[in-house]
Every structure is written in structure tokens, then in C-alpha cells.
């Protein structure tokens, strides 16, 4: 295991579709880089060439077919295993900071909201795949669906099999993320994503600052 003094920090951004994760990721990476910190930005599912291929398979099944819930949970975790081994762990070991747009909490939330696989099984798979590589900090972006709807429309991105689901699904996802943040308050912090992008970035930065001082304090 890499000594903590040498290890970079691992931050994950979570929340529903269009809530502002990628926007926040860019803002945080810029601010950290301005301080001279090396930052790797990545996303899930994806982040490595093979995991990006799994992303395509998982998010865009043929219109007349769908993954079983278990197959979907395993696909997300197969992609994550590759991502951890080839990108996240090597970067952290080099002292780089990693900011990932989604990580294992998305599987806990989406694959359990969609049903078909118990939370217990999901947690067992998660433990095997991520092992000791748990995020130092998870920012859960939270906003009412009406706000993110307007953003999704504004973005004009192609919808995928997940985004085209009904409102009740998105509300269930939001509630599940809120519950998750409550159960792990040491790692997860809920951020009001209904504010302006600048305000969201400021609120996120306040959660990141303790990680900076921890790094300074542990530097030789
Ligand atoms: N705080 C914000 N206020 C208003 N619009 C935002 C905010 N954050 C992001 N956006 C816009 O909303 C859209 C979705 O944001 P994005 O960062 O891509 O979300 P996600 O990565 O969570 O899907 C983009 O058009 C982005 O410019
Ligand atoms: C990482 C991950 C994502 N997903 C889903 C959530 C999203 O609907 C979809 C694509 O993620 P993403 O492209 O990050 O969505 P957005 O940018 O619109 O927020 O993948 C899972 O179901 N399980 C997972 O483990």
C-alpha cells in the first residue's frame, strides 16, 4: 500500500443527470491546478479505453433489448475495475489528485433504484472491486428536477437509456443520493446544486480545503 504522505486525494462527484457534475469538475480542477497540484479528471462509467467501450455497451443497448439488472451492475463494476487499475490507482500513487464524475455511489443508487439486485450484493461487489481505494471526499450535487430539466434541455445532448426515464425515477435517484449522504457524513457532503455555478464551486471548495491542509500537514 502506498504511504498516505505520497498519495494524492481522490474526490468523486455524484448526483442526478444534468445536475452540474462536469461543470464543477472543471472548476475544481482549474483551481487545484492553479495551486500547482496535478489533477486527473475522469468519469464513470469510462475513464480508460476499455471502460469507455463498456460505457457504450451499458448505456446504449439496442432499442429492443435491455441489460438484466445484474448484468448492468457487473458491467459498471467491470468498467470500474479497469478504471481503478489503469488510471485511478496509478495517479494517486504518483501523488496526483483524481476527480471522478461519478464512481461507486452511482452504482449503489442507480442499480438499487432500478431494482433486481439487493443492496447487500451490490455492496459485496463494490468491496471486491474498489478494495482500499475509497474516495477521500464525495460531493453529492442535489437540486430539484425542474432545475436540472432546464439544464438538460439547454445542453442539447443526446439522451441515453438512463436519461429518457420518467420523472419518478429521477426523484427516486435524488432521494437515494440524499439518503446516502446522510449515512456516510464523514465522506459525503451534500451540495445545493440549484445555486449558480460559481456558488456551487465555492461550496464545494469549502469541503476540499480540509484535504489541502491534511496534505500540507503530512508533507515531509
Ligand atoms: N450551477 C449551474 N447553474 C446553471 N446551469 C448549470 C450549472 N451547472 C451546470 N450548468 C449547466 O447545466 C448543464 C448540465 O451541466 P453538467 O455539468 O454537464 O451536468 P452533469 O455533468 O451533472 O450531467 C450544462 O449546460 C451546464 O453548463
Ligand atoms: C457510474 C454509473 C453510472 N450510471 C448511470 C447514471 C447515468 O444515468 C448514466 C450516465 O452517466 P453520466 O453520463 O455521468 O450522466 P450525466 O452526465 O447525464 O449525469 O450512467 C449507473 O447506472 N451506474 C453507475 O455505476
What value of ipTM does the predicted structure carry? 0.97
Which residues have C-beta atoms less than 6 Å from ligand 1? 17-23, 101, 151, 154-155, 196-197, 200
Calculate how far, in angstroms, residue 197's C-alpha sits from the geometric centre of ligand 1: 8
- Give the chain's mean pLDDT: 91
Is residue 20 a known part of a binding site? yes
Calculate how far, in angstroms, residue 99's C-alpha sits from the geometric centre of ligand 1: 17
pTM for the whole structure: 0.93
Mutate to test the pocket of ligand 2, among 45, 48, 158, 172 (most ligand atoms within 8 A of CB): 45
What residues have CB less than 8 Å from 130, skipping those under 6 apart?
Answer: 80, 84, 104
Domain extents in the chain: 10-218
- pLDDT by residue (tens digit) across 43-91? 999 999 999 999 999 999 999 999 999 999 999 999 999 999 999 999 9
- pLDDT by residue (tens digit) across 134-153? 999 999 999 988 887 777 66
Segment 115-132 mean pLDDT: 96
Domain 10-218 is of which CATH architecture?
3-Layer(aba) Sandwich (3.40)
Grid look-up 429518457 returns 164
What residues have CB less than 8 Å from 157, skipping those under 6 apart?
Answer: none
Dist. CA 186–CA 117, nearest whole Å: 26
Residue 64: CB atoms within 10 A of its CB come to 5
Amino acid at each position: 500500500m502506498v504511504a498516505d504522505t505520497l498519495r494524492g486525494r481522490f474526490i468523486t462527484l455524484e448526483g442526478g443527470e444534468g445536475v452540474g457534475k462536469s461543470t464543477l469538475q472543471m472548476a475544481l480542477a482549474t483551481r487545484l491546478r492553479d495551486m500547482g497540484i496535478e489533477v486527473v479528471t475522469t468519469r464513470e462509467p469510462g475513464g480508460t479505453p476499455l471502460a469507455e467501450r463498456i460505457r457504450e455497451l451499458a448505456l446504449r443497448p439496442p432499442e429492443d433489448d435491455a441489460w438484466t439488472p445484474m448484468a448492468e451492475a457487473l458491467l459498471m463494476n467491470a468498467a470500474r475495475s479497469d478504471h481503478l487499475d489503469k488510471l485511478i490507482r496509478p495517479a494517486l500513487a504518483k501523488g496526483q489528485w483524481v476527480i471522478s464524475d461519478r464512481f461507486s455511489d452511482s452504482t449503489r443508487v442507480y442499480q438499487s433504484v432500478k431494482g433486481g439486485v439487493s443492496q447487500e450484493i451490490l455492496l459485496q461487489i463494490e468491496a471486491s472491486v474498489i478494495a482500499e481505494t475509497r474516495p477521500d471526499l464525495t460531493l453529492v450535487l442535489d437540486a430539484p428536477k425542474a432545475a436540472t430539466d432546464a439544464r438538460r434541455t439547454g445542453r442539447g445532448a443526446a439522451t441515453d437509456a438512463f436519461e429518457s426515464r420518467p420523472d419518478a425515477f429521477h426523484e427516486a435517484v435524488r432521494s437515494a443520493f440524499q439518503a446516502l449522504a446522510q449515512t456516510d457524513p464523514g465522506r459525503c457532503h451534500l451540495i445545493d446544486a440549484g445555486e449558480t455555478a460559481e456558488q456551487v464551486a465555492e461550496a464545494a471548495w469549502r469541503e476540499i480545503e480540509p484535504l489541502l491542509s491534511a496534505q500540507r500537514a503530512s508533507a515531509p
